Structure 1
Amino acid sequence: MIDPTANEQAAMAAGGDAAGAYLESLEKSDLATLSQPEWRQLIEIVVTGYCDTLRELGLPWNWRIGPASRPVSDETYVARAFTPVGVGLRPFSVGHVEQPWRRPRTPGDLTIRWKRRSRALVADSWGAVEALLAEELEAYEVEILDGATVKRTLATTTTSVTYTAAQQTADWGALLGPGDTLDVRILQLSALVGRGTPKSVTLQF
Structure 2
Amino acid sequence: MIVTLIVAAEIAFWLLLALGLATRYLLRLRRVSTVLLVGLPVTDLVLFLLTFLDLRGGATASWTHALAASYLGFSVGYGPSVVRWADARFLHRFAGGPKPLPAPKYGRGRSRYEWAVCRRTLVSVAITLTLITVLRLFTDAPGSAVFDQWYWKLGIAAVVNTAIAVSYTLWPKQPPADAIVEDGRIVGRRIPERADR
TM class by shorter chain equals under 0.3
- Taking structure 1 as the reference length, the TM-score comes to 0.24
Select the structure that is richer in strand: 1
Q: TM-score w.r.t. structure 2 length?
A: 0.25
The structure with higher relative contact order (CA 8 Å, sep 6+) is 2
Whose radius of gyration is greater, 1 or 2? 1
